[in-house]
Amino acid sequence: MKLTSINTLEEIKSFVHILMDEENLNFHPDTPFEDYIFLNNRLPVYSKKCAEVRNRLLIQAFEVGERLDIDTHELMCDAGLIKY
């Protein structure tokens, strides 16, 4: 994961695109990262540490959205539909 923190609207969009385009994740902002599994073997996609990092970034994204008075959930869902 290239991002170490999320502090801006652009970093929120980058986070979504890293997850979807680089990590090929079927990302949804309501799903904790420890809940993602590989369908072929039912093993976790992320180690505990990697899931914790991504969950922390997700929390930061929502904090930025709150600070900017934007709907982070909607922004993330929309960002996943648009190529960055």
- Predicted confidence at residue 43, as pLDDT, reads 95
- Predicted confidence at residue 84, as pLDDT, reads 43
Q: What is the pLDDT of residues 63-84, one digit of tens each?
A: 999 999 999 988 887 766 655 4
Q: Which structural domain range is residue 36 located in?
A: 9-81
- Averaged confidence pLDDT in the chain: 90
Q: What is the dihedral of CA 28, 32, 34, 36, to 10 degrees?
A: -20
The number of distinct structural domains making up the chain is 1
Position 16 in a domain:
yes
Position 4 in a domain:
no
Contacts of 27 (CB under 8 A, 6+ apart): 16, 19, 20, 76, 80
Q: What single DSSP character describes residue 69?
A: T
Position 1 in a domain:
no
Instruction: Give backbone dihedrals phi and psi of 49, rounded to 5 degrees, phi first.
Output: -65, -45
Position 3 in a domain:
no
Q: What is the pLDDT of residues 12-38, one digit of tens each?
A: 999 999 999 899 998 989 999 999 999
